[in-house]
Amino acid sequence: MNYWEGLSRHAEGIIIASIGWLLNIPYWVSMYRYHSSLGHSLVEHFYEDLHLHLMALGTIPIFMILGYFWDKKSMLERDVSLRRDFLQAILDNMQDGLVVYDKSRKIIEANKQMETLFGAPREELLGKECLDLIKCDIEDCPVLTVFERKINVYGGACEQLKHRGGRKTFVEINSYPIKNNGDVEYVLEVIKDITEKILREKEEILLSHIDDLLDSKVEKKKVLREVTESLVREFGYDIAGIAVVKAGGEKLLPVVLSVNRRIKVLSGNFIKQLCEKEVAVPAGSPIEKVIKKGRVLFSKNISKLLSRSLSDKKLGRLDRALKRLDTLRYVIIVPIITQGESVHGLIGFASADELRESDAQRLIRIGKKISGIL
């Protein structure tokens, strides 16, 4: 820190300390002129009004003391502000969500990770109640339990309700009391995103269920429908479908297509008609590359992907319907590869939420499981 920076940090205290000196200047000037007009010497001038002079001089140390304490106060406020900003930076860089509830179970503080977990800005989360955000299977409300019993509550997995909609996510919640004189004033909750862990468990259940269906010699189409419906119902994807590759990769036959109930623009009859006819795959299209090269396809524009990859009037209607769903953008398509290393089918899903590598890996594992029945 250079000289001028140090001076600027103490500017307020220096100004206040200087007021005492500044107040003395007009006094001494006026007194000097008055005694000079009377012909008094400097010594006579000083001793004649000694009490006034001492009172005037006394203002200097008073303002210097005031300046000193003001400077200390300002430095303390700056230090508190820096510490608060430092603490907030730590909280905002935590991987887990952090939220504080008051006695009415309303959020009064939240860190940056909460915005990611609940899909809304921090300002919109403040004032919300815990039940507005969490759909818990815990028998007793953990926040209420902490307030009543004054103990830590370690919760299980809860389904989290995104403030602005979106795929299902799951969180693990631990609640802690913040006490004042023995009474619980606030409740601090640490919210950990365990979505991938829960979805992995659901995936194991689905794969095991597929094995049971295959062992029971259930109709193949029913098995495939169980897969797509589970991807929509249990995993929260908006659309899931499976198609068989025909004519050496020049055509596709949609076998099953499952759609989230909130997507009302796609009727059941339309989906049924869509799964009854082969559609052509234009040469050089993204889907043709998936078939020919056996690579996973990620796309951020499902409408554009369909228009470039498939040619059929019914698909044109599907494209128009999807355009009305401006939130439904992301799609992953995975090739289903048989033992002969050839692509025999495609499995994919679409979502309003951005899809990740873990979603693609999930589809690959499911695709391997059903590769033998296409």
Phi–psi pair at 34, nearest 5 degrees: -65, -50
pLDDT > 70 fraction of the chain, expressed in percent and rounded: 62
Q: Which residues of 155-188 are buried (b: 16+ CB within 10 A; e: fewer)?
A: bebbebbebeebbbbbbbbebbbeeeeeebebbb
User: What is the band of 19 on the pLDDT scale with cuts at 50, 70, 90?
Assistant: low
Taking only the tens place, the pLDDT of each residue in 158-183 is 776 554 456 677 888 889 999 988 89
- 3-state SS, the chain, equals CCHHHHHHHCHHHHHHHHHHHHHHHHHHHHHHHHHHHCCCCHHHHHHHCHHHHHHHHHHHHHHHHHHHHHHHHHHHHHHHHHHHHHHHHHHHCCCCEEEEECCCCEEEEECHHHHHHHCCCHHHHCCCEHHHCEECCCCCCHHHHHHHHCCCEEEEEEEECCCCCCCCEEEEEEEEEEEECCEEEEEEEEEEECHHHHHHHHHHHHHHHHHHHHHCCCCHHHHHHHHHHHHHHCCCCCEEEEEEEEHHHCEEEEEEEEECCCCCCCCHHHHHHHCCCCEECCCCCHHHHHHHHCCCEEECCHHHHHHHHCECHHHHHHHHHHHHCCCCCEEEEEEEECCCCCEEEEEEEEECCCCCHHHHHHHHHHHHHHHHHC
Return all residues near 81 (Cβ < 8 A) that are at least 6 apart. Answer: none
One domain for residues 83 and 102: no
Question: What integer pLDDT is reported at residue 283 of this predicted model?
Answer: 83
Residues 36 and 77 placed together within one structural domain of the fold: yes
Q: Is residue 72 domain-shared with residue 128, that is, in the same domain?
A: no
Answer yes or no: do 178 and 213 share one domain: no
In this structure, the answer to whether residues 368 and 321 fall within a common structural domain is yes
When pLDDT is cut at 50, 70 and 90, the band that residue 144 belongs to is confident
pLDDT at 72: 67
pLDDT at 204: 94
* Whether the Cβ atoms of residue 280 and residue 250 lie closer than 8 Å to each other: yes
For residue 104, the enclosing domain spans: 97-193
Residues 204 and 342 in one domain: yes
Question: What mean pLDDT is predicted for residues 323-348?
Answer: 80
227 and 88, same domain (yes or no): no
- Choice among 6-15, 278-287, 331-340 with the minimum mean pLDDT: 6-15
Res. 123 pLDDT band, cuts 50 70 90: confident
The domain boundary, picked from 158, 174, 193, lies at 193
| pLDDT tops 90 at residue 287 | no
* Residue where a domain stops, chosen among 71, 92, 113: 92
The CA-to-CA distance between both ends of the chain, in Å, stands at: 73
* Residue 3 predicted with pLDDT over 50: no
Number of domains present in the structure of the chain: 3
Residue 242 is predicted with a pLDDT of 92
The confidence score (pLDDT) of residue 11 equals 55
CATH no. for residue 318? 3.30.450.40
245/369 same-domain check: yes
More confident residue, 214 or 308: 214
| Distance between CA atoms of residues 147 and 194, nearest Å | 26
Q: How buried is 249 (Cβ within 10 angstroms: 0-12 exposed, 13-18 middle, 19+ buried)?
A: middle
Among 46-50, 89-93, 133-137, 200-204, the minimum mean pLDDT is found in 46-50
Q: Identify whether residues 209 and 259 lie together within a single domain.
A: yes
Per the model's pLDDT, the better-predicted residue between 249 and 64 turns out to be 249
Residue 318: which of 239, 216, 212 has the closest Cα? 239
What is the reported pLDDT for 5? Answer: 47
Mean pLDDT of 2-29: 53
Say if residue 152 is in the same domain as residue 138: yes
When comparing pLDDT for 326 and 210, which is higher? 210
pLDDT single digits (tens) 67-119: 566 666 666 666 666 666 777 777 778 888 888 999 888 999 888 888 888 77
Evaluate if pTM is beyond 0.85.
no
In the listed set 140, 173, 193, which residue is the last one of a domain according to the structure? 193
Pair (347, 247) in one structural domain: yes
Q: How far is CA 189 from the centre of its chain?
A: 16
Overall average pLDDT of the 29-34 stretch: 58
- pLDDT above 80: residue 34: no
Shared domain for 62 and 123, answered yes or no, is no
- Asked whether residue 322 carries a pLDDT value surpassing 80, the answer given is no
pLDDT tens per residue, range 208-240: 999 998 888 888 889 999 999 999 988 888 889
Per-residue confidence (pLDDT) for residue 230, from 0 to 100: 93
Residues 6+ apart with CB under 8 A from 134: 158, 159, 160, 161, 171, 173
104 contact partners, CB below 8 Å, separation of at least 6 = 129
**pLDDT above 60 for 27:** no
pLDDT of residue 4: 45
Mean pLDDT estimate for the chain: 76
Q: What is the domain-level CATH number for residue 130? A: 3.30.450.20
